[in-house]
Chains A and B, each alone.
Chain A
């Protein structure tokens, strides 16, 4: 049996006013899988991702990374888990594309030449090698997203946590981003993607987890949880359960 690369056990988050943001969330992600988390606004998906990388401290529960508690060493855990925020602008830290990609390696103390090589490779992987010298403020929405991804890849992340990465992207933007994600998954990386847009990427998913009010409503393969989708406050695409593998924005 394959060991989960990332697992949460009984994760609880209680807000100051007593509301539960996460209510005993136990879930595991297998290596090299493409996992989609879907649910209505405020159902706890983003909060869950923040917990996974230690930006928020749980009231109860444990996060296991490769079987060991992630909170033992958050710096190490964050190198293995790349987190993309909902707002692409909020994750751009430098004025030019190459400088931004260099931020992670530099702060890991990697020598400049090697850091530049890593940064350039990540930019090339994300289709931004021709824009290395450009100002980040001149990038389009889709390019900013890909720059965010390049930034986390420079750290060697094997798990990618993506918070609504398709928001505001046009068809070519979604297509380009999705292609990169699928390539990264093929290379063995684990993808955990939060989205409302099931029609854009469901075909590529290994599992679909539906959230409702801080709890997991259902989890399994898309056809297993198909009937529960509307209960999670998510639009169920207008295709039959048996046709979920057609749900992608990548051209056939």
Chain B
């Protein structure tokens, strides 16, 4: 296809995929905490860990490039816009870069986790890990996670298809890039809501009563 998918589960037999989700999920959470809060030197081993995991899980390097747009946006917000009012440009720029890098590691870890783990298994494991919060809370959290995990790939797919449809019908991406915002907003919101409604119906049909339990 045009570009490799991100946040999509792809079955396989490598060590990352074979690792029990009950171990993989806490590891991912620990990684997220480390990548978010570690001192600057700690980002290097975190980066190496991502490279190593991606290599043994055989995840296409090109797929990581699709994480760039949100990162560039984040860098614009945290690194470039504050420059307008900053006195120390280099510090602000470095701070923006650091935040973007940390967020990039989180996205990359999420990409590896969702590519190597079946969404249903992931949601079930999350529920299992959160049983201490009580059945209602753990089920709700697992449901939300499941919804997010299934909705994100669907939304990305639809966004990509809409972009292609516009290209095929004469839209010039270089001249009028803002048209994308217009054609994406309503359909993508609709996909998100539809996914939510279908998941809710599916849960109700399988015996979950949100108002009673």
Contact = CB atoms under 8 A, between A and B. Distances in A.
B165 interface: yes
A178 interface: no
A151 B169 contact: yes
B72 interface: no
Contacts of A152: 168-169
A78 B168 contact: yes
Interface stretch (B99-107, B108-116, B145-153, B183-191): B183-191
Nearest to A53: B168
Interface string B7-18: 000000000000
Interface in A118-159: 137, 151-152, 154-155
Contacts of A94: 183
A79 interface: yes
A47 B161 contact: no
B2 A93 contact: no
Interface residues of A, number: 31
Contacts, number: 66
B121 interface: no
Nearest to A101: B169
A75 B169 CA distance: 9
A54 to B, nearest CB: 9
B2 A55 contact: yes
B170 A79 contact: yes
A105 B166 CA distance: 12
Interface of B: 1-2, 4, 58, 60, 62, 158, 161-162, 164-172, 176, 179, 183, 186-187, 190
A137 B1 contact: no
Of A104, A107, A137, A152, most buried by chain B (CB within 10 Å of CB) is A107
A248 interface: no
A89 B158 CA distance: 9
B2 to A, nearest CB: 5
A17 B168 CA distance: 28
13 contacts: A16-B62, A47-B1, A75-B170, A78-B167, A79-B170, A90-B158, A90-B161, A91-B161, A93-B166, A103-B171, A107-B169, A107-B172, A108-B170
A194 interface: no
Nearest to B158: A90
A90 B58 CA distance: 30
A105 B170 CA distance: 8
A47 B166 CA distance: 19
Contact of B170 (A90, A137, A155): A155
B167 to A, nearest CB: 7
Nearest to B166: A93
A141 B166 CA distance: 20
A16 B4 contact: yes
Given A104-B170, A107-B170, A107-B172, A95 B4 contact: no
A93 B183 contact: yes
Given A16-B4, A56-B2, A87 B169 contact: no
A87 B166 contact: no
B187 A89 contact: yes
